[in-house]
Structure 1
Amino acid sequence: MNFLYPGFLFALLAIAVPIVIHLFNFRKFKKLYFSNVQFLRAVQEQNSSKEKLKHLLVLCSRVLAVVFLVLAFARPFIPSPGEKTQIAGPNLVSIYIDNSYSMETLNKEGNLLEEAKRKAKELAGAYGMTDQFKLLTNDFEGRHQRPVNREELISMLDDIKISATGRSLQQVINRLQTDVSANRNEVAYLLSDFQKGFVGIQRIQTNPALSFSFIKLNANSLPNISVDSVWSLSPVHLPNQAEQFVVQLHNYGDEDAADIPVKLRINNQQKAISSVKIAAGKTIKDTLSFSGIGPGWQKGVLSIKDFPLTFDDELNFTFKVTAELKILSINGDLAERAIKSVFATDAYFKLTEMPESNIRYSAFPEYSLIVLNGLKEPSSGLAQQLKLYVQNGGSLLIFPDLEASAAVYNPFLTGLSLPAIQQINAGPAIASTIESENSLFKDVFDEIPANIDLPQVNRYFSFADQSSSNKEHILKLPLNKFLIAKYNVGAGKVFLAASSLSSKDGNLARHPVFVPLMFKIAFSGSREQPFYYTVGKSEVLENDKINLAANQSLKLVSAQSEVIPEIRQTPGKTLLFVADQIKKSGFYNLQQADTVLSVVAFNDNRSESDMHYATENELKALFSKQDIAFYNSKKDTLSMHIALKNNPTELWKLCLILAVVFLATEILLIRFFNPIKNTQTT
């Protein structure tokens, strides 16, 4: 037997009071007058044994009444069989309520979330008034971290709403175990439908100091089709040009779905429509084409019609259509016009040319691509400025002047973290080969013929480093040498050519592959932010470098809310940390004061889309031999089972009854057990 409040046992010292009363009060003698003293001894002898018995019985009744009254306040109990040893003091009961989108579904009990709230209130009612409670939902709110009493818990339960934030079972358990103490009685209940996506497949470890009970709310598996993702087939988005977007849909149901309408809206204008058929449990991709969009940020919405679950029927995304792409060409040979000829073919490219003798370093950040065309004497100062430009995300293309010596170029190349020149190679023209797997040639060729005409060179540099890990071949030469290669430097890229654009060194500038290659290199310099982020999952947003003054800040603004992110500057990027501040899907403007810098889209987590549920055996398999209790909400005796498991057999009521019984016994003894009445006289 254990005691909930063992400190009250010190009150057992109160049994000394009736004992003292017995020793001093009952030994008083009463004077009696007799006419004949010959009968005095007989009266004393006849009543002495009965008087002593009465005194002892009254004393025992008083002592036992005090003892059981003290025990009643100490709250004795007998632990349930198999229950771990209880620690003196109240229980700390943690209750997790799954408030994800899947809890909106219905069963015979009604809405799953409302059923979970009712079960949680039943759990609270199964515990004592002195026990404390902690509530946890998918929102991981700070106010739910403090222990509360039963009334506060019920009030907090009534405030729970469906949340777009999705969690995994391991995340929930880790959160419940954050402040577990071995010096108190702690138990945790998890009320959820236990979707397979929520449960996962990885083994889960729990803290043995915390007792876990899983209460599975029964829901029916529902058919559901989700718009999973979207991406563009175009490397850049140009005004009034044809666009192609690929949309991916997933049928999570057990039956085939036909004639599912898919709509694409850009800036609230319908741009494309399609109809698809999806086999049960399968994923399909569909391509939507449209045109006629102007420059600026575009807000896109892909939507389908699917019931009863609708939270994943829309996918928000954003992209930017740029009016122009700025390119800078720094020329050593002013007579070489190959770069100007290429970019003059399309008004989208805005080419600026500077002579090698008059370079404005301050203008570098304005350009997406900088081309060095045949510089005679590249300086270390230029290398320093270009390295800073590349590390911040810029793209650099270098066509060397083969007339310059290696001693002139090598300090410049090493200043850019590029390999040094070994030697110049001259001789008969040799053909290059195309690295068709390189991303630059994606969508350039439908099919590469075996006898394709390729650029040729008769003079080129060979470089010391031919096996760098950050190098990608674009056009290769024999003996593992390259004609053009890409190096990743910081957040940017450097494209290094082994030959010049001069006709006496080769035919690269006149070859048909040169124009698409230059366009692809120019497009690679424009970085595109992600089409969308996920609520509750994407905590860091990437943006192009944003220069802020000391007291300036950024904010994300939507129609319903405003968020101030934490800002961290990195080479070439500004990182925005939003943590869990984004609660709803939709479009958010990134603003600096009143200026909109970009538009970002958030969508609900698709992990809730799969409406299949883990069985009890599947759940138990994740916990191996750990002691976990499982309950099914279908059982009418749920509350009784939980109360039996978690409430030991309490004896305070019995102690209180016994205390009253012994007090009544004392009264009866004093009133009715009178040995004088039985005195015999002669």
Structure 2
Amino acid sequence: MQFLYPSFLWALAALAIPIIIHLFYFRRFKKVAFSNVKFLKEVKEETSMRSRLRNLLVLAARCLALAALVFAFAQPFIPSAREVLTGRKAVSLYVDNSFSMGAESDSAPLLQIAKDRARDIVNAYGVEDRFQVVDNDFRGRNQRLVGQEEALELIEDIKVAPASRRLSVVNGRQRSALRTENIENKITYLVSDFQRNVVDLSAEKLETSVQVNLVPLTSVRERNVGIDSVWFEAPVPQLNQNNLLLVRIRNYGNEDLDNVRLSQNYLGQSKPEGTLSIPARSYVTDSVYLNISEPGIGRAELRITDFPVQFDDVYHLTFRTADKVKVLNIDDDGQPQRNLRAALGGLSVFAANYVGSRNIDYGSLAENDLIVLTDQVSVGSGLAEQLRLYVENGGNILIFPPANADVNSYNTFLTRVGSDRLDAFVEQNREVSGLNRREFIFRDVFRNRSSALRLPATTGNFPIGRVGSRQQESLLTYRDGSTALAKYTLGEGNVYLSSAPLDNEINNLALNAEIFIPMLYKMGISSGRRRQAAYTIGQDEVIQTSRRGAGADIVFKLRGKNGEFIPEQRVVDNRVLLSLNNQVPEAGTYDLVLGDEIVDAFAFNYDRKESDLSYLDANELAELASIPNVALLDADNQASLIGDIRERNEGTPLWRYFIWGALAFFLVEVLLLRFWRA
């Protein structure tokens, strides 16, 4: 037998008190006159012996009762096979509140059972012990040790949340909190469903000085269907077009599923998109057409119906379409080519502006979707640098070198913007024979692919000499396979390089409206970087938008249905980087507000990591428990869990028996004094 608090045994010295009282107690006798004292000596001797025996028994009962109380306060126990922790304890308790804990067990949602077991664990310890209660939110208030009552209140406040943490990260945070107070005995508990995608515990990631207890919970079945991801097939969605959306829906369960219903919601109208059959542990990719009827910021969502895990049944997305394409034509003398002006001014989709090379407002370049460079004999270093920054930050530039162009100046400029070089101008009649219909610029432009197109022809051109590191994509090609119109990507924008001038006497491309006009439009709306249709909460912590005059007094705000917050903002060139810092509370669409104006919108979806309801089995849990200082507890039986905790931490406690013994000895004393008359 051992003691949790052996210092209480010094109180056994108090046993001297009843002994001293017994030794120094002198009873006063009254003299009684008897007429006959013949038998007085015999009666006196008999009474004295009985009184002495009773007093000794009372003394023994008192001493035993007092000794039993002292032993009870010292908390004796029979040691278990494990080393028993004596003294105060620092206990860290992790309650998994990820979305997978919304699954059902036999009697209740897993999170409710987890909270019940957490309360049992706290109650299994003493009031003098200290506790940390932590969940996946990793809030600041959970990084300190509290008393028993406050720990129970923290457990009560836990709710299902989108965050998901690997168990090694959780255990590291637990150890950090346990070091905040100077308590030798450190114990951690992990109450979780132990999904495979979060369990990464190993002997190398754990400290042998801290005991780790695993408390696994089990759901009824592993079944879930979720929308994995959604994306536009084209780089840029177009107005008044049936834009193709690709939807990936995944079956995380072990059973084939039929009749999974998919629907689309756009502009407040819900539209069914049919039903799907999804094999077990697999996915299907379905096609959905979204007809965008309003320009500007668009919002939509795709939805399926599934139970009981529903956080991944909805996928939110946003997009932007322009009603006008802003085009800037930079011409050497400020007089645009006649057919270019006709093409840009003849349709309402274009908002064109024309400037000479000496009248460029460099500060407003970023406001244009497309810059067309024509009749520019040479490109100065200042203009070249500004055009490079414009393209890197998402702009598009179309270059038509004139026949008398300074090739060296152009090649210096083209090197800056990541394009191939131009060779000397060659007068030669050539015809374009190939048009790249797979590239975004000409994809889905012509309805009848079998019909013959009237392709442009040139009487002279600058052969495009390939540079090995340049990633060229040919849009138009001559009969000999050489490139007539090339595309290059730089940063977030694109560079389009024509090998022939735009002069009608040399190149009739501008006269070919069926190719030239849609080419200008799609170049204007293209981008070297796709706009993200949606972001993932907890993963995408930085988003970006165009700079729109935000300053010290006017800042960007993100506004959702549950309120608004101000993200951290950093200006880089003509972009603004917004750091979210885990401020997005739930999935949905959030408007980006500048002052009172909505300037953009972003869609946020929950991380699909929790969708796979695949858990560790009994053998895998037992393998984890084989790691030194790791134990596996039974969460199914409340009494067994509490008893196991107490036995592991205290051995087999005996203090209750000593309390009952003390009461029994006090009762013996009362009975002796009450019924044994001297």
8 A contact 1:338–1:501 mirrored in 2:
no
SS where residue 618 of structure 1 aligns?
helix
Any unmatched runs of 5+ in structure 2? 25-61, 668-678
Q: Residues of 2 paired with 1:431 and 1:204: CA distance?
A: 68
Aligned residue pairs total 626
Q: Residues of 1 paired with 2:533 and 2:355: CA distance?
A: 36
- Give the partner amino acid of 2:355: M
Pair 1:610-2:612 in alignment: yes
- Give the partner amino acid of 1:576: L
1:645 corresponding residue in structure 2: 648
2:298 corresponding residue in structure 1: 298
2:393 corresponding residue in structure 1: 392
Q: Residues of 2 paired with 1:218 and 1:361: CA distance?
A: 63
- Give the partner amino acid of 2:123: G
1:369 corresponding residue in structure 2: 370
1:209 corresponding residue in structure 2: 209
Superposition map of 1:16-415 within 5 A? 80-83=80-83, 86=85, 89-179=87-177, 181=179, 184-199=184-199, 205-271=205-271, 273-291=273-291, 293-332=293-332, 334=335, 336-343=337-344, 346-410=347-411, 412-413=413-414
Q: CA deviation at 1:526?
A: 8.7
1:59 corresponding residue in structure 2: none
Structure 1 stretch 370-379 or stretch 284-293: which is displaced more? 284-293
8 A contact 2:403–2:425 mirrored in 1:
no
Superposition map of 1:365-514 within 5 A? 365-410=366-411, 412-413=413-414, 416-418=416-418, 423-426=423-426, 428=428, 440=441, 458-462=460-464, 466-468=467-469, 483-502=484-503
8 A contact 1:563–1:581 mirrored in 2:
yes
8 A contact 2:189–2:214 mirrored in 1:
yes
Q: CA deviation at 1:367?
A: 0.5
- Give the partner amino acid of 2:555: S
Q: CA deviation at 1:298?
A: 2.4
8 A contact 2:419–2:488 mirrored in 1:
no
> Which whole-Å deviations, capped at 9, do the CAs of 1:213-253 have from their partners, x for residues lacking one?
21111211153322232222344344433333232222233
- Give the partner amino acid of 1:316: H
Structure 1 stretch 326-335 or stretch 581-590: which is displaced more? 326-335
> Which whole-Å deviations, capped at 9, do the CAs of 1:617-651 have from their partners, x for residues lacking one?
23455788454322342346222222222224567
Q: CA deviation at 1:135?
A: 0.7
Residues 241 and 346 (structure 1), Cα distance of their counterparts in 2 relative to 1, 3 Å cut: farther
8 A contact 2:4–2:650 mirrored in 1:
no
SS where residue 106 of structure 1 aligns?
coil
Q: Residues of 2 paired with 1:202 and 1:591: CA distance?
A: 46
- Give the partner amino acid of 2:285: K
> Which whole-Å deviations, capped at 9, do the CAs of 1:570-626 have from their partners, x for residues lacking one?
344322122222222222221122211212222233233333322132345578845
8 A contact 1:424–1:462 mirrored in 2:
no
- Give the partner amino acid of 2:283: T
Q: Residues of 2 paired with 1:4 and 1:497: CA distance?
A: 87
RMSD across aligned positions (CA): 4.6
8 A contact 1:393–1:572 mirrored in 2:
no
User: 2:595 pairs with 593, 596, 599, which one?
Assistant: 593
Residues 386 and 422 (structure 1), Cα distance of their counterparts in 2 relative to 1, 3 Å cut: closer
1:54 corresponding residue in structure 2: none
8 A contact 2:411–2:422 mirrored in 1:
no
> Which whole-Å deviations, capped at 9, do the CAs of 1:456-494 have from their partners, x for residues lacking one?
67431555x702256656567899985544444444333
Normalising to structure 1: TM-score of the pair? Answer: 0.77
Q: Residues of 2 paired with 1:588 and 1:499: CA distance?
A: 46
Pair 1:520-2:528 in alignment: no
Q: Residues of 2 paired with 1:581 and 1:166: CA distance?
A: 15
8 A contact 1:568–1:575 mirrored in 2:
yes
SS where residue 121 of structure 2 aligns?
helix
Q: CA deviation at 1:369?
A: 1.3
- Give the partner amino acid of 1:311: F
8 A contact 1:317–1:602 mirrored in 2:
yes
- Give the partner amino acid of 1:312: D
Residues 594 and 188 (structure 1), Cα distance of their counterparts in 2 relative to 1, 3 Å cut: same
8 A contact 1:616–1:630 mirrored in 2:
no
Q: CA deviation at 1:305?
A: 2.6
Residues 598 and 119 (structure 1), Cα distance of their counterparts in 2 relative to 1, 3 Å cut: same
> Which whole-Å deviations, capped at 9, do the CAs of 1:507-561 have from their partners, x for residues lacking one?
6556776555444322224966422223333322222234312233222222222
8 A contact 1:116–1:192 mirrored in 2:
yes
Q: Residues of 2 paired with 1:623 and 1:576: CA distance?
A: 44
Residues 304 and 69 (structure 1), Cα distance of their counterparts in 2 relative to 1, 3 Å cut: closer
8 A contact 2:559–2:590 mirrored in 1:
yes
Q: CA deviation at 1:445?
A: 8.3
Residues 247 and 506 (structure 1), Cα distance of their counterparts in 2 relative to 1, 3 Å cut: same
8 A contact 1:368–1:525 mirrored in 2:
no
Q: Residues of 2 paired with 1:297 and 1:151: CA distance?
A: 50
Q: Residues of 2 paired with 1:17 and 1:115: CA distance?
A: 49
1:549 corresponding residue in structure 2: 551
SS where residue 462 of structure 2 aligns?
strand
8 A contact 2:456–2:508 mirrored in 1:
no
8 A contact 1:264–1:303 mirrored in 2:
yes
8 A contact 2:458–2:500 mirrored in 1:
no
Q: CA deviation at 1:418?
A: 4.7
Any unmatched runs of 5+ in structure 1? 27-61, 665-682
- Give the partner amino acid of 2:410: Y
Q: CA deviation at 1:290?
A: 4.6
Superposition map of 1:651-666 within 5 A? none
> Which whole-Å deviations, capped at 9, do the CAs of 1:89-119 have from their partners, x for residues lacking one?
4211111111223323332332322211111
1:42 corresponding residue in structure 2: none
1:676 corresponding residue in structure 2: none
Q: Residues of 2 paired with 1:318 and 1:527: CA distance?
A: 16
